[in-house]
Amino acid sequence: MDQKHSIQTILAGIVLALGLVGGCWILGNALVEFKAMDRYVTVKGLAEREVAADLAMWPISYSAGANTLTALDAELARSQAAIMLFLKEQGLGDAEVMTAAPRIQDNQSIMGNRQPAERYRAEAVLTVRSNDIVKVKKGMAAAGALISRGVLLIQNYEFRPTFTYTGLNSIKPDMIAEATRDARKAAKQFAEDSGSSVGTIRRATQGYFSVQDRDRYTPEIKRIRVVTTVDYLLQN
């Protein structure tokens, strides 16, 4: 009986020892794997492109004055007709045109006893919307000719020409791929310097796309850039 108990005790000890050895082996492998997963490099990748704007918004601000509201309305209509004819001459006759209610000021209520040259003064804005950037730029350069046609152009800082690129979504995938390749190139250089090789992506973060004018003189050319941050695993 004692001999049988001793054998069982020995077998139990062997099983326990094997279990401990196996557990240590598994734990050791897990630690090695964890350590390998902990070796990574964080790099940034950049992608940049210059594209031509494909939508122009051109506000044309003008003013008119008269002593009666009826005469003021007629003067505004005359100026608007002159602008529309000018746009047609510039090849923008088919462009979308938007108008807003004019701002009218009663000079008599402001100047009091002093008699103004014109009681009413109005400011109006006619906005041209077009995909033909070349014609819009040409028209903007020639707009001074409206003065000789009796249109009193004014500078309005509230309404300025804008140029927009509407095709951003179509180039996003290619730019993200380009930025990722740039990041991997940087990771590869780092890995070579440290005697390692680049593994798989551990984590990747995409930055936002920025769209800016190339410079103040060419707002119709847009510079688009995106930066991605990527963690690459390193392998021995």
Domain tally, the chain: 3
Inter-axis angle of helices 133-142 and 69-89, nearest 10? 130
189 and 102 in a single domain? The answer is no
Q: State the pLDDT at residue 111.
A: 66
pLDDT score of 30: 33
Residues 115, 17 share a domain: no
Question: SS3 of 9, please?
Answer: helix
Q: Based on the domain organization, do 89 and 172 belong to the same domain? A: no
Q: Quote the domain boundaries for residue 226.
A: 40-54+165-236
Residues 62 and 135 in one domain: yes
pTM of the model: 0.74
Provide the b/e sequence for 126-137 (b: ≥16 CB within 10 Å). Answer: bbbebebbebbb
Q: Are strands 221-235 and 197-206 parallel, antiparallel or unpaired?
A: antiparallel
Give the lowest-confidence range in 25-34, 52-61, 94-103: 25-34
Task: Among 163, 190, 210, identify where a domain stops.
Answer: 163
Domain closes at, from 163, 187, 220: 163
Question: Measuring CA to CA, how many Å separate 159 from each of 13, 60, 125, 211?
Answer: 88, 8, 8, 20
114: number of CA atoms within 13 Å, CB side? 6
Are residues 77 and 153 both part of a single domain? yes
Per-residue model confidence as pLDDT tens digits over 18-48: 444 444 443 334 333 434 456 888 999 999 9
Q: How many CA atoms lie within 13 A of 131 on its CB side?
A: 3
Mean pLDDT of 72-96: 96
HEC string for 31-54: HHHHHHHCCEEEEEEEEEEEEECC
Q: Do 195 and 208 lie in a common domain? A: yes
Q: Are 102 and 192 members of one domain?
A: no
Which tens digits make up the pLDDT trace of 141-199?
999 999 999 999 999 888 999 999 999 999 999 999 999 999 999 999 988 888 888 98
Strand ranges for the chain from DSSP E: 40-52, 55-66, 96-99, 103-106, 120-130, 152-153, 162-164, 197-206, 210-213, 221-235
d(CA 77, CA 83): 10
| Together in a domain, 45 and 11 | no
Whichever domain contains 171, its CATH number is 3.30.110.170
pLDDT at 180: 94
Q: Tell me, yes or no, whether 49 and 92 share the same domain.
A: no
* CATH number, position 62: 3.30.70
Which one of 163, 192, 216 terminates a domain?
A: 163
Residues 147 and 182 in one domain: no
Rounded CA-CA distance 209/168 in Å is 9
